[in-house]
Amino acid sequence: MPPKRITFITGNENKLKEVKMILSTGPSTEKDETPFELVNLPLDLDEIQEIDLEAIAIHKCKQAAQKVDKGNAVFVEDTALRFDAFNGLPGAYIKWFLKSLGLEKIVKMLEPYENKGAQAVTTIAYADENGEFHTFQGITEGIIVDSRGPTDFGWDSIFQPLESGGKTYAEMNKTNKNLISHRGRAFEKFKSHLYNN
């Protein structure tokens, strides 16, 4: 049987690179060949105004399902950065904060607060070949720090995970980032689902 085709809709090349790398191997418990072929459609889908990250991802995935032929599996992911001091904001709005303010001002926003805690969250929404929706989420706890390391991917250089031995995401190599990242964790769950269904 030919491998199942799964379409990932994202307009973000850095994200795509990480996802390809993560999905190129089986879940940690298995060593099989990947039983699916990953296809990318680089579209920018609408993201609704919501605090509920699953609702945003599902809404995105419903549009995604309309971009592929019926009977084809498709998924999207949405990544949020939640500040403890702001009760979870910017959350899914981090993209617009980044665009308008840039890294330095985002770090400055937290200056008055002692609590620099933040959560990176990836929420995957998957529409399977029967049109059923599934969600998978991965969370990594960390702190917001002054920018260190390359600044080519989003807020990687200002997020220091608690488990990285003091490195920001940007200072880690991709293999190590994926092992503990919000995205790595979400896709580990997604992979288990794909391998078991």
Cα separation values, 82 from 21, 33, 79, 133, 168, Å: 25, 35, 10, 25, 16
Q: How many residues bind ligand ITT (CB under 6 A)?
A: 17
Is 11 part of any known ligand binding site?
yes
Min CB(76)–ligand ITT separation in Å: 6
Is 59 part of any known ligand binding site?
no
Phi, psi at 187, each rounded to 5° = -75, -25
Is 60 part of any known ligand binding site?
yes
Sequence-ordered alpha helix ranges (H) in the chain: 13-23, 53-67, 94-101, 103-109, 174-180, 182-196
Q: How far apart are CA 10 and CA 21, in angstroms?
A: 15
Q: Which of 84, 195 has the CB closer to ligand ITT?
A: 84
Sequence-ordered list of residues with C-beta below 8 angstroms from that of 165, at least 6 positions apart, any chain:
none
Q: How far apart are CA 123 and CA 183, in angstroms?
A: 8
Q: Which of 99, 72, 89, 77 is nearest to 4 (CA)?
A: 72
Is 114 part of any known ligand binding site?
no
Q: Does 94 bind ligand ITT (CB under 6 A)?
A: yes
Q: Are 76 and 15 in contact (CB under 8 A)?
A: no
Is 122 part of any known ligand binding site?
no
Q: Does 98 bind ligand ITT (CB under 6 A)?
A: yes
**Which uninterrupted H or E stretch holds 134?**
strand 133-144
Return the residues of window 138-197 that contact ligand ITT according to CB under 6 A: 153-156, 169, 183
Q: Does 58 bind ligand ITT (CB under 6 A)?
A: no
Q: Does 95 bind ligand ITT (CB under 6 A)?
A: yes
Q: Does 44 bind ligand ITT (CB under 6 A)?
A: yes
Q: Which of 153, 190 has the CB closer to ligand ITT?
A: 153
Phi, psi at 20, each rounded to 5° = -60, -40
Q: Does 11 bind ligand ITT (CB under 6 A)?
A: yes
Q: Are 44 and 184 in contact (CB under 8 A)?
A: no
Q: Which of 5, 12, 133, 145 binds ligand ITT (CB under 6 A)?
A: 12
* Segment interacting with ligand ITT, rule: CB under 6 A, options 11-19, 26-34, 103-111, 140-148: 11-19
Is 136 part of any known ligand binding site?
no
Write out the binding residues.
10-15, 47, 60, 78-79, 153-156, 177, 182-183
Residues at the site binding ligand ITT, with contacts judged by CB under 6 A: 10-12, 15, 44, 47, 78-79, 94-95, 98, 153-156, 169, 183
